[in-house]
Amino acid sequence: MKTLRDISLLHNVPVLVRAPLNEPIENGEIASDFRLRRTLPTIAFLANAGARVIVCGHIGRDPGETLAPVYRALAQRLSHVSFSPESVGPAVREKVRALHPGDVLVLENLRRHKGEAMNDPDFAHELAQNADVFVQDAFDTCHRKHASIVGVPALLPSYAGLLLEEEVRELSTARTPQHPALAVIGGAKFATKEPVLTQLLTCYDHVMVGGALANDFLVAKGYALGASLLSGADATPIKMLLANERLVLPQDVIIAAPDANVSSAQSAALDAIPEKEAVLDAGPKTQAALSTLAHTAQTILWNGPLGHYENGFTAGTKALAEAIAASSARSIVGGGDTITAIEELGIGEHFSFISTGGGAMLDFLTHGTLPGIEALAADQ
């Protein structure tokens, strides 16, 4: 990939940056600035070089959500930052023309326009009219074929930002790990995890399946899991993966009623789960086994929680985070709840690399590329 270091002229040039701005919002302000911190070097590099920087991105699942809180957070970190309540149109182009070298303009949520997710050529053209050069830095969204990911690079000279460059480099090394190598994949939805599990089982010594994802595997092995969440996946591919001796499943679990809080939880053996109880976290034996594997590993890859994290079942996930942080392995991790656990524990500096991507990280590990990366390559 060409990176922003390859741009020959930046002074007074309008540069459109697709940035990872999808931060959690609480009470009108961002609750975590993890992605914003990671893309800041790219924005600062361009601003310091005298570019007129136009930052675009999305936030949340509701198209009505606003990037204004992210703009305010960015304005606390850089000077000469302004906000546009629109992302395309004459008013935006007028704001771009009014920018001075080194100024930064943040555009409103791209997903307010249906054309973004539809990769509408007209919307991509309107967005591209805001700039002369495009920089892709939103690795977390590069697995989406959206207008700002694959449409705009077809219209402007396009380059990878510093964050995207780092993501590709680090995750490429994770596809060829040093051994012994441990991978832990949590979360849910077997259909979205099957490709990466299949890939990782070819190159990692141990591949642990955790979270609700593990429930499908345990049921396929004949365990009765009561009221536990299942994805309803076809048992055939699950049984094929179970035949691989590198696959690791939970040894015990934490259970409670599906709507209960963590105070009523208790550990249970896999063959002793009551009909009205649900598996909600990894048990103590499972946590200990993972800690042992982490202690002896040279490479650790982790994406996704081991429990129902948002409902307070965080013990398994945090125990794994601490075990990885205490290991001497090269550790590469990602996923929303994974990052939340690491930040809550304050141990981020003990990990070799923390990806900004969740689904994008898994797709890259599977294929070694993403649509947004291919779009940059096509511009070469």
Q: What is the pLDDT of residues 349-377, one digit of tens each?
A: 999 999 999 999 999 999 999 999 999 98
pLDDT surpasses 70 at 142: yes
Q: For residue 333, which phi and psi values (nearest 5 degrees)?
A: -135, 160
Q: How far apart are CA 300 and CA 321, in angstroms?
A: 11
pLDDT surpasses 80 at 14: yes
Token output for 4: 């922003």
pLDDT surpasses 80 at 380: no
Max CA separation in the chain (angstroms): 68
pLDDT at 189: 85
Q: What is the pLDDT of residues 153-169, one digit of tens each?
A: 999 999 999 999 999 99
Q: What is the pLDDT of residues 164-215, one digit of tens each?
A: 999 999 999 999 999 999 999 998 889 999 999 999 999 999 999 999 999 9
At 70, is the pLDDT very low, low, confident or very high (cuts 50, 70, 90)? very high
pLDDT at 255: 96
At 232, is the pLDDT very low, low, confident or very high (cuts 50, 70, 90)? confident
In a 13 Å sphere around the CA of 68, the CA atoms on its Cβ side amount to 8
CB 113 within 8 A of CB 125: no
**Domain 175-346 of CATH type 3.40.50.1260:** yes
pLDDT at 13: 98
How distant, in Å, are the alpha carbons of 192, 194, 204, 349, 363 from that of 136?
25, 28, 30, 26, 17
Q: What is the pLDDT of residues 289-339, one digit of tens each?
A: 999 999 999 999 999 999 999 899 999 999 999 999 999 999 999 998 899
pLDDT at 188: 87
Token output for 95: 């704001």
In terms of pTM, does the model score above 0.85?
yes
**H/E run at residue 247:** strand 247-248
At 379, is the pLDDT very low, low, confident or very high (cuts 50, 70, 90)? low
At 247, is the pLDDT very low, low, confident or very high (cuts 50, 70, 90)? very high
pLDDT at 378: 74
pLDDT at 1: 84
Domain 4-165 carries which CATH code?
A: 3.40.50.1260
The ranges of the chain annotated as CATH 3.40.50.1260 are: 4-165, 175-346
